Amino acid sequence: DIRFDINLSLLIQVQLTMQLTGSIILALFSTSLAYAQSFNHQDTLSGSITPQRAWWDLTYYDLAIDVDISTKSIKGTNSIYFNVIIPQEVMQIDLQEPLRITHIDYKGQSLTYTREGSVYWVRFPYPLVSGDREKISIQYEGVPVEAVRPPWDGGFTWSKDKNGNPFVATSCQGLGASVWWPCKDHMYDEPDSMLISITVPAPLADVSNGRLRHIDSLSDGRKTYQWFVSNPINNYGVNVNIGKYAHWADTLHGEKGILDLNFYVLQDNYEKAREHFQDAYRTIRAFEYWFGPYPFYEDGYKLVEVPYLGMEHQSSVTYGNKYRMGYLGRDLSSTGWGLKWDYIIIHESAHEWWANNVTYTDIADMWIHEAFASYAEGLFVDYYYGKQAASEYVIGTRSDIGNAKPIIGKYNVNKEGSPDMYSKGANMLHSLRTWLDDDVRWRETLRGLQRDFYHQTVNTAQIETYIAQATGLDLKAFFNQYLRDTRIPVLEYNIKGKTFSVRYTNIVEGFNMPVYITSDNGQKIRITPTGNWQKLKQPAPIKTISVDQNFYIGKNMVDKLN
Please state the rounded mean pLDDT for residues 29-56: 79
Q: What is the pTM of this model?
A: 0.92
State the pLDDT confidence band at 531, using cuts at 50, 70 and 90.
very high
Pick the more confident residue, 166 or 8: 166
What pLDDT was estimated at residue 479? 98
What pLDDT was estimated at residue 37? 59
- Residue 164 CA to residue 455 CA, distance in Å, equals 40
Judge contact between 397 and 426, C-beta under 8 A. yes
Judge contact between 113 and 121, C-beta under 8 A. yes
| Contacts for 164 with CB less than 8 Å, ≥ 6 apart | none
Judge contact between 170 and 240, C-beta under 8 A. yes
| Contacts for 232 with CB less than 8 Å, ≥ 6 apart | 1, 3, 190, 191, 192, 193, 455
Facing residues of 167 across strands? 159
What pLDDT was estimated at residue 9? 36
- Residue 308 CA to residue 318 CA, distance in Å, equals 9
What pLDDT was estimated at residue 539? 82
Please state the rounded mean pLDDT for residues 211-228: 97
Does residue 30 surpass a pLDDT of 50?
no
Q: In this predicted structure, which of 55-59, 282-286, 376-380, 496-500 has the lowest mean pLDDT?
A: 496-500
Does residue 8 surpass a pLDDT of 50?
no
| Contacts for 535 with CB less than 8 Å, ≥ 6 apart | 499, 500, 501
Does residue 67 surpass a pLDDT of 50?
yes
Question: How far from 188 is each of 50, 318, 529, CA to CA, in Å?
Answer: 11, 24, 39
Please state the rounded mean pLDDT for residues 256-268: 98
DSSP state of 85: S
Pick the more confident residue, 38 or 275: 275
Quick check: helix, strand or coil at residue 331? coil
Does residue 453 surpass a pLDDT of 80?
yes
State the pLDDT confidence band at 7, using cuts at 50, 70 and 90.
very low
What pLDDT was estimated at residue 523? 84
Q: In this predicted structure, which of 3-7, 36-40, 167-171, 531-535 has the lowest mean pLDDT?
A: 3-7
What pLDDT was estimated at residue 543? 87
Task: Mark 325-357 as b/e (b = at least 16 C-beta within 10 Å).
Answer: bbbeeebbbebebbbbbbbbbbbbbbbbbbbbb
Strands 310-311 vs 317-319: parallel, antiparallel or unpaired: antiparallel
Percent of the chain beyond pLDDT 90? 89
Q: In this predicted structure, which of 119-128, 158-167, 495-504 has the lowest mean pLDDT?
A: 495-504
What pLDDT was estimated at residue 396? 98
Does residue 68 surpass a pLDDT of 90?
yes
For the segment 143-198, what is each residue's pLDDT rounded down to a tens digit? 999 999 999 999 999 999 999 999 999 999 999 999 999 999 999 999 999 999 99
For the segment 98-118, what is each residue's pLDDT rounded down to a tens digit? 999 999 999 999 999 999 999
Peptide bond into 125 cis (omega under 30): no
Nearest to 491 by CA among 540, 539, 431: 431
Percent of the chain beyond pLDDT 70? 93
Q: Around Cβ 118, how many Cβ atoms within 10 Å?
A: 18
Judge contact between 283 and 277, C-beta under 8 A. no
What pLDDT was estimated at residue 127? 97
Please state the rounded mean pLDDT for residues 340-353: 98
Burial bucket for residue 367 (CB in 10 Å: 0-12, 13-18, 19+): buried
Does residue 94 surpass a pLDDT of 80?
yes
Please state the rounded mean pLDDT for residues 258-270: 98
Q: In this predicted structure, which of 13-22, 47-56, 304-313, 321-330 has the lowest mean pLDDT?
A: 13-22
Task: Mark 255-281 as b/e (b = at least 16 C-beta within 10 Å).
Answer: eeeebbbbbbbbeebeeebeebbebbe
What pLDDT was estimated at residue 477? 98
For the segment 389-425, what is each residue's pLDDT rounded down to a tens digit? 999 999 999 999 999 999 999 999 999 999 999 999 9
- Residue 422 CA to residue 370 CA, distance in Å, equals 5
Judge contact between 490 and 502, C-beta under 8 A. no
Facing residues of 527 across strands? 515
Does residue 357 surpass a pLDDT of 80?
yes
Return the half-sphere exposure (C-beta side, CA atoms, 13 A cut-off) of residue 35. Answer: 6
Strands 301-305 vs 317-319: parallel, antiparallel or unpaired: parallel
Average pLDDT, the chain: 93
